[in-house]
Homo-oligomer: A and B are copies of this chain.
Amino acid sequence: MIRNNSELAQLGEFGLIKKIREQVKKFQSGAVVGIGDDAAGVKVKPGKIALFTTDTLVENVHFKWDYASGYQVGWKALAVNLSDIAAMGGVPTYCLVTLGMSKEVDLSLIDSIYQGLRALASLYNIGIIGGDIVSSPIFFITVALLGEENKEEVLLRSEAKEGDFIYLTGDLGTSAAGLFCLKEKELNVPIPLREKLQRRHLLPSPRVNEGRKIAKSKVASSMIDVSDGLTLDLSHILEESRVGAKIWEEKIPILKEVKKLAKEFNRSFLDWGLYGGEDYELLFTCSSKISLEDIKNSLGFSVTKIGKIVKGSPEIVLISSAGKQRKLKPKGWDHFSI
C-alpha cells in the first residue's frame, strides 16, 4: 500500500463517498433508497420498505476511554444508528453488533458496553440478534441496524423545494459544549451544568419518536439528522435537492446556559451550533403553505423555524439579526478533511 499524505485529505470523507457512489451506481438497482441518504431502503413487500444502515465508533477517533464509559460507548453506538433510521422517519427493528478489540480488554468493559446497548435497545424494542467479534489493536464498535416504514412515508434528503421553510427539533451546540467540558476537566463549570452537557454528548437521545411523527404527519418534504453539524448536514439536503438555503442566525436554537458557558470561556456558541455536530436533532423542510403553528399541532411537540430553502446552488447564507449576509462553508465532522 503506497501511502500518500494528501490525496484522501484533499478529497475528504464526503468527496470519497461521492466517488464511491459513482463507482457502485449500477449496484443500486432494486434499492428504493441507495447510497446518499441516512439509511438505504429496499422493498420487502407491497407498500413496505426495509431500512438498512450502519455506523461505527472508533476509540480515540469518536471517543476516548479517559472520559467515556463502556455503557456510554455501547449506548451511543446504537444511538447514532437509531438517529439515521429516525432521519428517514422509520421504525428501527433489529441490529447486529460488531466489536473489534484486543485480547487484553477487560471483560467488565464488554459487559458495560452491552448494558448500554441493552438500555437503549429496550427503549425502542430493538432486537440485538447477532454480530461479530474480532481481534483488533484498537477498539471499535459497528452497529448495523434494520428498520421499516410504509413506502409513502419515507423522507429523503432530496425532496426539499424552493420556498420551503427549514425546521429543527430541539437545540444545537449542546453536544459540542458537552465535549468541551469533557476535554476541559479543570475548568470551573457548575457540576449540574457540566453533567447535563456531558450527558448530551455521551448519551444522546435519538429522535426516533419525533422522526416517526414527522413522517406520519406528512408535513415534511425532506429530512436529515444533525450528526456532523448543521452546515454540513444541511448541505447534504441542498446538494441532493439542488437548492440553496438561508439561515437566520438568531433563530438557531442554542440553550441559554450553552451561550453563557461559551461567553465565559471565550468560545463561540454560534460555531458550536453551526459546526458542532452530534446533537442528533432532526432537520427537516416543510412547504411554506403550512404554518409553524399547524406543524406543531400536527406533531405534538415544539420545533424551531430556522431558515428557508432558496433557488440556486447548494450554498448556505447566514443572515445576522442586523440583516448582514455571509456565506457559510459547510464544515463539521469530516473524517479525512484537512
Contacts and interface: CB of A to CB of B under 8 A. Distances in A.
Contact of A336 (B45, B96, B103): B103
A205 interface: no
A54 interface: yes
Contacts of A321: none
A7 B106 contact: yes
Contacts of A53: 96, 130
B100 A4 contact: no
Contact of A42 (B17, B140, B146, B336): B146
CB-based closest 4 A-B pairs: A144-B144, A40-B129, A40-B130, A135-B335
Contacts of A98: 54, 56, 142
Nearest to A54: B96
B135 A35 contact: no
Contact of A4 (B104, B127, B130, B136): B104
A215 to B, nearest CB: 19
A31 B104 contact: no
Q: Which of the four size classes fits the interface of chain A?
A: 35 or more
B58 A28 contact: no
Given A27-B126, A31-B94, A103-B336, 8 more contacts: A3-B105, A8-B104, A8-B105, A8-B106, A30-B127, A44-B45, A134-B140, A135-B336
A55 interface: yes
Contacts of A52: 94, 96, 129-130, 144, 146
Contacts of A103: 5, 8-9, 335-336
Interface stretch (A108-116, A265-273, A293-301): A108-116
A197 interface: no
A191 interface: no
A127 B28 contact: yes
A138 interface: yes
A32 B287 CA distance: 42
A105 B44 contact: no
A1 interface: yes
B45 A45 contact: yes
Contacts of A27: 118, 121, 126-129
A91 to B, nearest CB: 12
27 contacts: A1-B109, A2-B106, A2-B109, A3-B105, A4-B104, A5-B104, A7-B106, A8-B104, A13-B133, A23-B111, A27-B127, A33-B129, A34-B129, A34-B130, A35-B129, A40-B96, A52-B144, A53-B96, A54-B132, A54-B142, A56-B134, A58-B134, A58-B136, A60-B137, A100-B140, A134-B140, A142-B142
A39 B130 contact: yes
A138 to B, nearest CB: 6
Given A127-B42, A144-B144, A135 B24 contact: no
A93 interface: yes
A61 interface: yes
A140 B137 contact: no
A191 B27 CA distance: 36
